[in-house]
Amino acid sequence: MKFFNPKDNFFHGGYDQLLRQKRALTLKMDSIKRKRRTGTIKDYEVTLNRCTCLDFKKRHKPCKHMYRLAFELRVFKLDEKEIDAQLATAPKSVNAYFNSEVSFYAHVPKKFVVIDFETANQYKDSICQMGIAVVENDSIVATKNFLIRPPYEHFSNTKIHGITFDDVKNSPTFEELWPEIKIFIEGQVVAAYNMRFDLSCLISTLKFYQLPVPNFAAFDILENVRDCAEDYDSEFSYMENFKLVTVAKDLGFAHDEHEALSDAVVAAQVQFWISENYPKEGTLISFASIFALIECFSRENISLEILVSFCKFILKSGEKFDDKKQEEFFKLLGAQAARCENAALYKFCGKFFDQREDIPRALEFYRQAFALDSKSGVKTRIQTLERALRKINKSNEANQK
């Protein structure tokens, strides 16, 4: 297929392809032969129809290297604003993990929780074991292991993990354990090795028991392994496959395959290894809702940098969220600005209400930003709004007379 033929561009607007286009913006060609329409990026041989990277070999769709080459040859347009606008409305695929309203590339948070599920059979809501590893500053500070009685007695996956119905028939159900498990999920940044599987298990089981899905963020350690294998000449680049058991063996980590707690601990260790050897590597963090982002920040699970980036994004996106949702968000944001006494957050709140022509509330936040930082760039706007407010007040007084 001629991927960059205008007649065959139907898949460039897919969510995953848009993410690859955005990644392409950060790349640089090492060499390019314009007449042959080929080039190299980090030792990958790239053409408009194929690439030697793992991503293309696996999916047979344009990778980020191919998008960069197409951009350099001026046969494909890469505009960050347009890509962001399309990402805002593009239907999410399974690779987006869950119906997140916003995702950001950022450094791996200092605090996150690794989860792993084992299921009794082919149904995602048949969880029979859950392992949890709590991470802070590249160390595992707590672990939990739950044997869980699923809503089915049929165990077809015993040959995989060794758990039988008799092993869990006297164990509590997921619904009974949820108050304890929820502490590790709500408001946290959750990670897993092959996040699509574990999130589908979690969401399916919550739906089965008619339990609300909490706010949380998520990232996939497996995707970080793949990115390192693709972008760097790393240990991962020479592995037979990226199964957790393979990665653990090659990196020298003790591992009891398909034992949920062992899987969670080893997945955390793999992420530690990536963070130590590739500290500048970013990861795609997806938030279950705009409120999940605030909750994660309030628990100090994500950095101020991510929150500020999101504020810039939401103000530029215009109609991405309805007014009521945005107002609720900025009320929460104002509370966080007060908690950490941050002028930038106050300024974003002021801008939001300024755009809505709510002058009193805009002034309130702008003044708080100025009080914390006189160089926050709001002084002139405060003066302009104060003049406008005086005119409105005079007009109202005249009308009352």
Digit-coded pLDDT (tens) for 281-321: 778 888 877 778 888 888 888 888 788 777 777 776 654 45
Are 120 and 240 within one domain? yes
pLDDT digits (tens, 9 = 90+) for 33-42: 999 999 999 8
Task: Give the closest residue to 163 by CA, choosing from 93, 256, 244.
Answer: 256
* pLDDT at 112 (0 to 100): 96
36 lies in some domain: yes
Query: Do 224 and 230 meet the contact criterion of CB atoms below 8 Å apart?
Result: no
d(CA 24, CA 12): 13
pLDDT tens digits for 130-163?
999 999 999 999 999 999 999 989 999 999 999 9
On whether both 203 and 349 belong to a single domain, the answer is no
Longest C-alpha distance within the chain, in Å? Answer: 86
pLDDT recorded at residue 51: 93
Q: Give percent of the chain with pLDDT exceeding 90.
A: 47
CA–CA dist 123, 114 (Å, integer): 22
Question: Mean pLDDT across the stretch 230-257?
Answer: 90
Which of 91, 125, 141 is the last residue in one of the domains?
A: 91
| pLDDT at position 341 | 84
The confidence band for 175, taking pLDDT boundaries of 50, 70 and 90, is: very high
pLDDT computed for residue 98 by the predictor: 47
Q: What number is the average pLDDT over the span 173-180?
A: 97
Per-residue pLDDT at 318: 53
Domain identity same for 260 and 123: yes
- What CATH number does the domain containing 345 carry? 1.25.40
The arithmetic mean of pLDDT across residues 62-80, rounded, is 94
Q: Is 91 exposed, middle or buried (0-12, 13-18, 19+ CB in 10 A)?
A: exposed
The DSSP bridge partners found for residue 129 are 118, 147
Q: Is residue 309 assigned to a domain?
A: no
Quote the pLDDT of residue 95.
41
Q: What pLDDT does 99 receive?
A: 46
Nearest residue to 303 via CA among 269, 342, 271: 342
Determine the pLDDT at residue 401: 62
Residues 186 and 111 in one domain: yes
Q: Are residues 71 and 115 in the same domain?
A: no
Least-confidence region, from 42-56, 124-138, 299-313, 378-392: 299-313
pLDDT at 168 over 90: yes
Structure tokens at 139: 């160390």
151, 30: one domain: no
Query: Which residues does residue 44 pair with via DSSP β-bridges, in sequence order?
Result: 41
Q: Which amino acid is at 168?
A: V
Mean pLDDT of 238-252: 93
* Predicted pLDDT at 9: 57
Q: Residue 182 is part of a domain; what is its CATH number?
A: 3.30.420.10
Considering Cα of 387, then 390, then 392, then 398, what sign does the dihedral take? Answer: negative
Q: Which pLDDT value is given to residue 321?
A: 53
Query: How many folded domains does the chain comprise?
Result: 3
In a domain, 97, yes or no: no
Identify the domain containing residue 364 by its residue range: 318-400
Pair 121, 251 in one domain: yes
More confident residue, 232 or 10: 232
Whether 264 has a pLDDT exceeding 60, the answer reads yes
User: Are 138 and 71 within one domain?
Assistant: no
Dihedral angle, C-alpha 344, 345, 351, 352, nearest 10 °: 160
167 and 210 assigned to the same domain: yes
pLDDT 10s digits, 21-37: 999 999 999 999 999 99
Q: Whats the size of the chain, residue-wise? A: 401
pLDDT of residue 299: 83
So what's the pLDDT on residue 121? 92
Res 214 pLDDT > 60 = yes
pLDDT at 357 over 90: no
Sign of CA dihedral 154, 159, 161, 162: positive
- Quickly state the pLDDT bin for 11 (edges 50, 70, 90): low
Residue 310 included in any domain: no
More confident residue, 281 or 241: 241
pLDDT of 49 strictly over 80 = yes
